[in-house]
Amino acid sequence: MSTAVDVKTLIIDGMDVSARQDQTVLDVARENNIFIPTLCHLEGVADIGACRLCLVEVKGTPKLLSACTTKVYEGMEVTTDSERLRKYRRMTLELLFAERNHVCAVCVANGHCELQTLAYGQGMDHVRYDYCFPKWGMDLTHPFMGMDHNRCILCTRCVRVCWYIEGAGTKNTSGRGGGSMIITDLNQPWGDSETCTSCGKCLMSCPTGALFKKGSTAGESDRDRSMLEFIVNAREKKQWTV
């Protein structure tokens, strides 16, 4: 393996960094302790660039690019924090809140929610858009897991872990735009799913309070993603193959 040719050098926030050519801007930024907010990104599963929170500026490109899906190149100059980026990130967060029904104070994920944490972090103290107040329901048919569509941000992390890590393919998306929703199998009650292995990986992956252990009350969804990381690591590093 030739490593020398694979190495790219680039500048992130004025700092010279080097990276492998298959890495994304997000990977490199994280390696160098540069914070870029993310929501749909989850270590171990493919990125899809859905949430647009990780947008960065790249010199020479008028468009903002999502750091999680943009590969590095030689001489790239990336800015991860600017007035413009902060404006768009805040707007994106506000739109996420306005789109469904988030009542953090009584949410199972209160205090442990990635969306909430980012909103605090980006100084979002109010939402400038009209709330949509859609009528989404809950699916409590599974024996020990529940889904509240009101809190789903459609990041599809649950779908991706279900397909790519568990290999069950139970979780899917249906619909378009704001009317999209996460479904189980061919849109049937979760409890009736024949493919769900009840592994709970979707629960571990969910950044919000949309997926939770049944019986949880406010602030009780304190997720442990270490099990997910453990499985991903083991798989990628082939720790289980003999």
Partner 1 sequence: MSKRIIIDPVTRIEGHAKISVYLDDAGNVTDAEFHVVEFRGFEKFCEGRSYSEMPGITPRICGICPVSHLLASAKAGDAIMAVKIPPAADKLRRLMNLGQIVQSHALSFFHLSAPDFLLGWDSPAEKRNVFGLIASNTDLARAGIRLRQFGQEVIEVLGGKKIHPAWAVPGGVRSALSQEGAARIRAWLPEAHATTRVALDLFKGVLSTHEREAQLYGNFPSLYMGLVAPDGTWEHHGGKLRFTDSSGSIIADQIDPADYRTVIGECVQESSYLKSPYYLPLGKDDGVYRVGPLARLNLCARMGVPLADEELKVFRTHGHGSVTSSFLYHYARLVEILASLEYIERALDDPDLFSTDLRADAGINSLRGVGASEAPRGTLFHDYTVDRDGKLQKVNLIVATGQNNLAMNRTVAQIARHFLKGTEITEPMLNRIEHGIRCYDPCLSCSTHAAGRMALHLRLVAPGGDVVGEAVRD
Selection from 94, 199, 103 nearest residue 142 by Cα: 199
Q: Stretches 30-38, 59-67, 137-145, 148-156: which one binds ligand SF4 (CB under 6 A)?
A: 148-156
Examine residue 188 and tell whether it contacts partner 1 (CB under 8 A): no
Non-local CB neighbours of 216 within 8 Å, separated by 6+ positions: 108, 146
Residue 221 tokens read as: 């969804």
Q: Stretches 86-94, 120-128, 137-145, 154-162: which one binds partner 1 (CB under 8 A)?
A: 137-145
Examine residue 182 and tell whether it contacts ligand FES (CB under 6 A): no
Report how far residue 171's alpha carbon sits from residue 56's, in angstroms, rounded to the nearest whole number: 30
In the shown chain, the binding pattern of residues 68 to 107 toward ligand FES, with x for contact by CB under 6 A and - for none, equals x---------------------------------------
Torsion angle defined by CA atoms of residues 28, 34, 40 and 41, in that order, rounded to the nearest 10 degrees: 30
CA-to-CA dists, residue 122 to 52, 53, 75, angstroms: 14, 11, 29
Q: Stretches 45-53, 77-85, 139-147, 234-242: which one binds ligand FES (CB under 6 A)?
A: 45-53
Report how far residue 114's alpha carbon sits from residue 232's, in angstroms, rounded to the nearest whole number: 20
CB of 161 to partner 1, least distance (A): 23
Assign 211 to helix, strand or coil.
Answer: strand
Examine residue 38 and tell whether it contacts ligand SF4 (CB under 6 A): no
Examine residue 118 and tell whether it contacts ligand SF4 (CB under 6 A): no
Q: Stretches 87-95, 125-133, 151-159, 224-232: which one binds ligand SF4 (CB under 6 A)?
A: 151-159
Examine residue 137 and tell whether it contacts partner 1 (CB under 8 A): yes
Give all strands (DSSP E) within 70-149, no chain letters: 77-79, 138-139, 145-148
Which residue ranges make up the site for partner 1 (CB under 8 A)? 105-108, 137-138, 140-141, 143, 146, 191, 214-220
